[in-house]
Chains A and B, each alone.
Chain A
Amino acid sequence: MRTTARRSAALPLLVIGGCSVEQSALHPTGAGAEQIYSLFWVMTIGGGLIFAAVLLCTLWAIYGGSGIRRTLSAEGMIYGAGVFFPAAVLSALLGYGLYLMQESAFASSPTGAPQIAVSGEMWWWRVQYRDAQGRSLESANEVHVPVGETVNLALTTKDVIHSFWAPQLAGKLDMIPGRTNMLSVTATKPGISRGQCAEYCGGAHALMSFVVVAHPADEYAQWLDGEAAPAKAPDTEREKLGQDLFLRSGCGACHAVRGTAAAGTIGPDLTHVGSRKSLGAATLNNDEASFKRWIVDNQHIKPENGMPPYRIFTEAELDALAAYLDGLA
């Protein structure tokens, strides 16, 4: 657990459950990422040894005794060290690579319809789940997967090219207009990690992240049930006022809250937004204060994003609106 080093006034930090969340390829928690992690070490150690050997040869060539220099200056040496040795190492490496690609292809042999569809949109992620009963439900900026089960993701884009990269789960795959790319992932450990768009997609590309949650298998079913339910009705007066404001101010033109009149599809679905780990595609923490800031100031937090800043609310109204949204667990 790392404590956050520094807080900036501009961007509060995303801290989930008291510890910061990583997106490091060096801490794999998925089958694909684990394979690549081993490959990384094989190549790093091998490459390091070769690098050391080349340096040593160079130093010998400059400062070595006449014997070693004569050996190094023979044309045979060039053939040996510059042709045959690399040819052998590269052949072996290519074989290893082909083996891994075959494994990946084998693992991806489709075992049914895609369970999760992720669409990249400037600059957030629309996520749709479809379960065995044929239920289809929409969420955003979070990908929940069960541990130990291979999940097929269907990756598409609504606008420009994006790239879906959850480094701790697997390697990345692009989202390309007019195409659907399929990615199979298998989480091996429960936990939360982070992912980010890896293909430059204009404007706020830097702020297009998401959260990956790997649940133990039984917990996953529970989570899915919860997510499939319509939005929670407001409990308090403040939340009721918030809902009222939400529906009256036209928020529903872009956002959907299932169970209410709000059924917009342009922006992220907010049915269970309060239960998410972050706001603004993993840009802000999920709390009331962040909701308020986002509503008023989103163009500073995430320049060029599709939502206009709303400065029409009084402080009390903003509080109510934030309370309502935060309460949509």
Chain B
Amino acid sequence: MRIWKTPTGWRLPTAVNNTVIGLLYIGAAFLFFVLAGILALVMRIQLAVGDQRIVTQELYNQLFTTHGTTMMFLFAVPAVEALGVMLLPQMLAARDLPFPRLSAYAIWAYVIGGLVFFSTIFYDLAPQGGWFMYPPLTTTQYSPGNNADFWLLGIGFIEISAIAGAIEIVVGTLRTRPPGMTLAKMPIFAWSMLIFAGMIIFAFPAVILATMLLELERAFGWPFFSAELGGDALLWQHLFWFFGHPEVYIIFLPAAGLVSMMVPTFAQTPLVGYRLIVVALIATGFFSFGLWVHHMFTTGIPTLSLAFFSAASMAVSIPSGIQVFSWIATIAAGRERFRMTVPSLFILGFLFIFVLGGLTGVMVAMVPFDWQVHDSYFIVAHFHYVLVGGMVFPLFATFYYWAPMVSSRMLSERLGRWTFWLMFMGFNVTFFPMHIVGLQGMPRRVWTYPSMMGWDLLNTISTIGAFIIAAGVLVFIIDLARNFRFGQVGPDNPWGAGTLEWLPNDVYSTRSIPLVRSREPLWDQQNLAEEVKNGHHFLPGAPTGGRETVVTTAIEAKPQYIIQMPGPSWTHLFAAVFTAAFFLLLTIKAVTIAITCGVLAVASCLIWAWQLDRPGKGEVDIGGDIRVPTYITGPQSHSWWAMVVLMLVMGSLFIAYVFSYLYLWTVSPDVWAPDGSPMPPHVAYPLLSAGLLVGGVALLALAYRALPDPGKRSWEAFLLLVLASCAMAAAVGIEVWGHWITGLRPDASSYAAMVYMAALLTGQGALAVIVLCLFAGARLATRQMDRVRRVTFDNAFLLYAYTAGQGLFGLLLVHGFPRLLV
């Protein structure tokens, strides 16, 4: 198992193994938690009593913006994604996630980007528009300077890293489960991560589009949000909260999944209501997409619209009830009493806080009540109960529970109890009074308040509580320093748990990949640990001689093929560094160096990709008399799946665009063509564009037929790939040209901006497609792509077809809609 060895010394950053980079991921997320927590302490000092002037107005506004942004984007989402990277492969007894370098890339990009973003608070460059960044406050008119751009570009690109992680997790949970672990036997945490990733795929593109629109407005004056030119401030709120509300559940669901893993262990009995929990997770995931307007109850949109979302907010409470009572049932079901350990204390603390937060959540879902408490400290109290209760407490339970999986020593029970009680007490002391002070009229995001309002006492109590929480976190850090030692030789299964991550483990996960027959295989399958250790299950050797794992079918988990995985590398690391540099340099308008870095990032990615798609090694025996191939193409391959998931992401982004287009029309029909703007050009233009797109797909279909036999070269296929690239480029060019000659300019009105935006989105896809097609051409030319070994070609083809489809739809909307209005 030498091939799985973690690189040492100065080569350590090249590591891709999930336990190594997972630890980096969690460590970075925890660092941001501590940093953003310190900002919160500064704010609490300022608010301890009224009329205080310790912190200036400007700094305070930067503080709460950075606190919120860091906690949401740099701590909460990465932390749960990190747990996925860390725990999922072990729970599924997979050797690693299917795209190890992709996760390593995403993690490095996040670490670098996150640190730079956070550091802006030290040189007065931090954004001060709130973590929600509502325009018009964040347009150049009211926020000149680069501060807001740091948010838009910095966070925008960290979102992209989250999406990369989500793609990994979807393919990982569905395709790298151990043989026999059917969908219905999947651990709850895997379910929750699957739903988590699905939600990221549909929610994050909305905010990515929003950040693109706002950055375009800031940089080039495309008026998406300015009312004078037909834009609308509420468009941002729709897009932002379409992401922002699911975001809350994106954070909560994995944490709830972890609780569902830990509770059965301490009760020593299987989870009561496995099915019900799965229902609750899926239902929460879905309903959470129907809640976004509940952040907009006070914007003055029609009362009936509000009622739809109030109804959905009611519906989303039921799944939480299901989960709470399932946990209580499981606790009650144990033959022995529920074991009181540090993780179980954190779980009970979580139940207490989360139930309270859930109940205030129902209160604010009532539209009239929200009219009163919206944007008051009541809301601050509510969402800290939900998020800290729902995510941070389970996270600390997780730290104590799963530490033995990566540490040779367990964390201290004694210090852990101190941590828990300090955090639990401190939390309630801090946040409970905020409910009352909010009802007494204290609004959020105020850097000071008059002493005579009667809010002083409660605020002082909150400040004291904040320091008690900080003390709890400090004790935890001491515990980490004293007891956490990275190493795989920790105690095996110290809690007596039933799931696969407690099998004897090493960097490559388990010695052999077990055949699973139940939801708690360690409890139900006698001697499983022994058998696995002795290599009696699947893949005991390394038949391909490299890093590899078994891919199984998505529902029934039958072994299907062996995936050959890449090992340590500098390429993805450089790609991450240059991607981060590109975005951050763009922020400070250092355009030339930024573009250089961008090109270097693409080059690193290409070198990285060049090393992939290795040829198959024929069929191999994985044990149990099962022989499977080592190379596979088409709809069964994991790379096809990842591409499809990527297409879903792009599709959500485009749907968000279509929504924005139609939405702005409902707000400002007066700037729309034909009356308010020049008509789109003659139909010949879109027809020609469409023809080129369809023709390009046809060219690729011909190229597919022309792919050579293994070891041969086909200049015909090469030529077709190049031609298809040209067709794509020409289609986008003609579309832009057509609008330009009608006299339409993107900064003229929100209509014009939306017209060019469609072309921009297609152009973005086209750029990726062209790079991919030329990359495929280069593989052809070097005899690395043929009839059999054609994953690269398949990917190019899929992305091409998708982009062409999106382009056609865009043409239909942009050229068709104004003609409907004539």
Contacts and interface: CB of A to CB of B under 8 A. Distances in A.
**A contacts B directly (C-beta below 8 A):** yes
Interface of A: 2, 4-8, 10-11, 13-15, 20-26, 32-33, 35-36, 39-40, 43-44, 47, 50-51, 54-55, 57-58, 60-64, 68-75, 77-79, 81-83, 85-87, 90-91, 93-94, 96-98, 100-101, 104-105, 122, 155, 159-161, 163, 165, 167, 170-174, 176-179, 181-182, 194, 196-207, 283, 303-304
17 contacts: A7-B451, A11-B450, A13-B452, A25-B440, A25-B441, A32-B368, A43-B363, A62-B337, A72-B332, A83-B322, A101-B367, A160-B137, A161-B134, A161-B137, A179-B227, A181-B299, A304-B58
Contact of B375 (A160, A177, A198): A198
B310 A177 contact: no
Contact of B49 (A6, A174, A177, A201): A6
Given A24-B440, A105-B303, A304-B57, A75 B329 contact: yes
B183 interface: no
A64 to B, nearest CB: 7
A38 B330 CA distance: 38
Interface string B787-816: 000000000000000000000000000000
B125 to A, nearest CB: 16
B345 to A, nearest CB: 11
How many B residues are at the interface, by size bracket? Answer: 35 or more
Contacts of A93: 314, 362, 366
Contacts of B449: 206
Contacts of B355: 51, 54-55
A104 B368 contact: yes
B328 to A, nearest CB: 5
A58 B371 contact: no
Contacts of A207: 448
Q: Which 3 A-B pairs have the closest CB atoms?
A: A171-B371, A178-B227, A206-B446
A125 B84 CA distance: 50
A202 B142 contact: yes
A148 B751 CA distance: 46
A72 B276 contact: no
Contacts of A94: 310-311, 314
Given A159-B142, A198-B376, A75 B456 contact: no
B456 A176 contact: no
A160 B446 CA distance: 16
B712 interface: no
B446 A205 contact: yes
A62 B266 CA distance: 11
A15 B440 contact: no
B325 A101 contact: no
A75 B303 contact: no
Given A82-B276, A202-B129, A8 B440 contact: no
Nearest to A20: B452
Contacts of B49: 6
Given A13-B450, A24-B440, A160-B136, A73 B329 contact: yes
A119 B352 CA distance: 44
Interface of B: 49-53, 56-58, 61, 128-130, 134, 136-137, 142-143, 226-228, 232-234, 272-273, 276, 298-300, 303, 306-307, 310-311, 314-315, 317-318, 321-326, 328-333, 337-338, 348, 351-352, 355-356, 359-360, 362-363, 366-376, 439-441, 443-454, 456, 667
B127 to A, nearest CB: 11
A286 to B, nearest CB: 14
A81 B321 CA distance: 7
B667 to A, nearest CB: 8
Contact of B372 (A78, A90, A171): A171
Contact of B137 (A22, A202, A303): A202
Contact of A69 (B51, B57, B332, B367): B332
Contacts of B348: 58
B310 to A, nearest CB: 6
A33 B273 contact: no
Nearest to A48: B359
A196 B440 CA distance: 12
A202 B143 CA distance: 9
Contacts of A165: 375, 441, 443
A11 B51 contact: yes
A75 B330 CA distance: 10
B51 A10 contact: yes
A40 B369 contact: yes
Contacts of B667: 178
Given A86-B321, A204-B57, 19 more contacts: A6-B49, A6-B50, A13-B51, A20-B453, A24-B440, A24-B441, A24-B454, A57-B328, A69-B332, A69-B333, A73-B330, A74-B329, A78-B276, A101-B303, A172-B374, A181-B300, A201-B137, A202-B128, A202-B129
Contact of B324 (A21, A44, A54, A177): A54
A87 B452 CA distance: 43
B447 to A, nearest CB: 5
Contact of A173 (B53, B311, B371, B456): B371
Given A51-B355, A61-B332, A199 B322 contact: no
Contacts of A75: 272-273, 276, 329
